[in-house]
């Protein structure tokens, strides 16, 4: 199996679905933890040299950090609602408490500045529909520059791709400093819905591609619920949701640039596709979710 494609069963830590540090990934900045807390459970997390978002995937929780308390109203699953979230700084002791149980993602980045904790309400999170036709998808920009500027290195967003559609297309890269891109390490964390479009399930699948122009890197993999793909460099995309099985992924990005950015360059062989979108209808299934819930 590819060293860049990490199957769900290989990245867990006891009851926690994902434990992935930059050292595990073989790079410098970007990491991801996914914690699972049972009903009534509390967990203390020490952030160390990492800043992080606290992002409920299913369930709700209370976050206590630096003498502040944030109540995060979560969601049934990632396919049902845009969620509240919180930013927590490096060198912090964070207490998570849940009444009914929670699965919560901690996208994280190694950083140098220590900022204050901050609450992110769901109703302030922008939901964007990108692409057109079979490339229509939802982008939930909760932690992107220009929308959320309270971070040192960390960038993050969520995407939902309806069954049968393509996203992260045209393929793009961000592995060098140039007029159109910055250097970022990126994690894709996938959840795949069952045929009900709501419940994550191992039955569905999707496809992901990462490659370089010279062919030295050429990865085409089937991803399933809970898998991670690491993008150290090269073009990445498309991500393709199998018909009947909606795909979610959390993108986590960080890099050496002094200012946070998610700037990228398209693969020039495919950038022309964007010009066709103006003449194609949007898939009416998008957006799939808002802060008010799921759009049927």
| Three-class DSSP labels, 6-20 | ECHHHCCECCECEEE
Higher pLDDT, 179 or 183: 183
Average pLDDT, stretch 50-70?
98
Instruction: Name the pTM for this structure.
Output: 0.98
- Say what the pLDDT of residue 2 is: 84
Where residue 296 falls among pLDDT bands split at 50, 70, 90?
confident
The mean pLDDT of 272-286, rounded to a whole number, is: 96
For range 98-115, the mean pLDDT: 98
Domains of the chain and CATH, by start: 5-288 (2.60.120.10)
Question: Tokens for 281?
Answer: 């209808």
User: What mean pLDDT is predicted for residues 81-100?
Assistant: 98
* pLDDT-derived band at 1, boundaries 50, 70, 90: low
Q: What is the pLDDT of residue 212?
A: 97
Question: What was the pLDDT predicted at 176?
Answer: 95
Strand partners, 85: 120
């Amino acid at each position: 199996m590819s060293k860049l494609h990490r199957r769900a069963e290989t990245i867990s830590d006891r009851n926690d679905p994902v434990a992935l540090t930059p050292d595990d990934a073989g790079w410098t900045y970007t990491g991801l933890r996914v914690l699972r807390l049972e009903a009534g459970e509390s967990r203390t997390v020490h952030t160390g040299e990492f800043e992080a978002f606290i992002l409920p995937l299913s369930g709700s929780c209370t976050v206590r950090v630096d003498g502040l308390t944030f109540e995060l109203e979560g969601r049934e699953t990632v396919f049902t609602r845009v969620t509240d979230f919180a930013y927590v700084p490096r060198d912090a002791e964070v207490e998570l408490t849940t009444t009914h149980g929670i699965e919560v993602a901690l996208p994280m980045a190694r950083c140098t500045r220590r900022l204050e904790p901050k609450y992110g309400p769901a109703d302030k999170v922008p939901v964007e529909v990108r692409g057109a036709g079979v490339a229509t998808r939802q982008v939930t920009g909760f932690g992107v520059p220009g929308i959320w500027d309270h971070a040192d290195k960390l960038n993050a967003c969520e995407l939902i791709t309806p069954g049968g559609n393509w996203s992260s297309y045209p393929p793009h890269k961000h592995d060098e400093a140039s007029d159109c891109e910055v250097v970022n390490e990126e994690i894709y964390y996938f959840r795949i819905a069952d045929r009900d479009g709501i419940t994550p399930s191992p039955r569905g699948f999707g496809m992901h591609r990462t490659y370089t122009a010279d062919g030295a890197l050429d990865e085409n993999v089937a991803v399933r619920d809970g898998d991670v793909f690491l993008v150290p460099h090269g073009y990445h995309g498309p991500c393709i949701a199998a018909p009947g099985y909606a795909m979610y992924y959390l993108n986590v990005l960080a890099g050496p640039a002094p200012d946070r950015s998610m700037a990228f360059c398209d693969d020039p062989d495919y950038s022309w596709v964007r010009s066709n979108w103006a003449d194609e209808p949007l898939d009416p299934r998008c957006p799939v979710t808002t802060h008010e819930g799921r759009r049927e």
